[in-house]
A and B are shown apart, each in its own frame.
Chain A
Amino acid sequence: MRVWSKPARAVLAVAGAGLAACTLAFLAALFLHVAPENSVSREYRAQLNAVVYPEFEQNWQLFAPDPLQREVTVSARVQTVADDGRVTTRDWHPLSAQDLAAVRHDPAPSHLDQNLLRRAWDLYASTHPDGDGPSPAGSRGRIAEQYLKRIALQRIGRAGERVLQVQLRVDTATLAPPAWSQEQVDTSVHSRELPWWPVQDEDWRGLE
């Protein structure tokens, strides 16, 4: 049987009390972060964010999942130039439809098909709330633009010619409510055509 000496007991007690205090403080911070906004969490918003982000983000969506209620369909097309200078605008390439086809009937769909394009569009939409003009250099909006451009380029490929520019189109429609619901929603499709984005050689880096 181990017998702890007095100094050892003191060290253990202090360490234990310290750990317990840290755990309590951490749990309190998480509680305030998750709880509905109140005067305490408003007061300490900056400190709470410093604890929670980036590694302790609480986004499990486990007990209260929020299924998507809108059909978001992203398509892309490119404009290419042949060696003789002839410019061709290619057909729309159905990016979301490809993802959907890959996910359907697959018991373990890949993050590539489930999340990549969906979250890239979420990032773009959240950084471009007032339309599709170019974002300032270095902003998160600019990152979102380059990311979407690279996703489209990777999926479409070079098509044998030099790609001049790329364009995205997003069709959004609210899903119709179930038959038993009284809810009235507008299920018409809203299209949003993004501006043509010029393509440089460095946009292809690592894609092929």
Chain B
Amino acid sequence: MIPGGAVRAALPRLLTTLAPYQAAAVRIGTAGTWGAFLLREWPNRRLLYGDRSPWSAELNDRLLADTHAFTVLSWSGGRWWFEAVYLLALASAAALALGWRTRVSAAAFALTVLSLQNRNVLVGDGGDNLVHLMAIYLVFTRCGTVWSLDARRRARRPAPTGRPGANPGRWPTRWPRCCTTARCW
């Protein structure tokens, strides 16, 4: 059993963001790349992932029955459902690259990346595989603490007193005082 004191002492350090700049670089790189790809394939989108693909929704359903991969595009084969998902994919890639509402846009990003790629895995390559993996990992990563619109908004708004974490940049200076607080308490 871990002693309570050790947990108390380790908490502030564990609750900070590790490697915030690296996480932001991965976020911007992945979302930017996928967003640029979606824009480039805009004229071909229906042939690659949509209703005009030679890899028809029916063929894909037969493959999905085997692999159990996730895609919201199997819910409906209609054109407008596909167009809506593609537009959401573009919007969430832009939002994630800019770090706007990072937590929500990361989830939407992962959802749309999986949906499009699993609609037609047979047009993908190594780059798609990398984006696929990063999209999932970014959901579990605190990647919006720097270089993001979220960070800018937080910096403008004064942090409410007694609530750390609003500005993670301040943690290192606070952490010695936190130890003394914990000991008094």
Contacts and interface: CB of A to CB of B under 8 A. Distances in A.
A188 interface: no
A150 B56 contact: yes
B14 A1 contact: no
Interface residues of A, number: 42
A147 interface: yes
B123 A111 contact: yes
In terms of DSSP, what is the predominant structure of the interface of chain B?
helix
B91 interface: no
B30 interface: no
Contact of B181 (A1, A16, A56, A60): A1
Contacts of A60: 126, 129-130, 133
Interface in A1-18: 1-4, 6, 9, 12-13, 16
Contact of B162 (A1, A59, A62, A143): A1
Interface size class on chain B is: 35 or more
Given A60-B130, A112-B123, A53 B67 contact: yes
A62 B54 contact: no
A150 B47 CA distance: 12
B136 A55 contact: yes
B68 interface: yes
Contacts of B136: 55-56
A16 B10 CA distance: 11
Given A55-B69, A115-B124, A110 B41 contact: yes
19 contacts: A3-B181, A12-B11, A53-B67, A54-B70, A58-B133, A61-B125, A61-B126, A62-B130, A110-B40, A110-B41, A111-B41, A111-B48, A111-B123, A115-B124, A119-B123, A119-B124, A123-B122, A147-B54, A206-B53
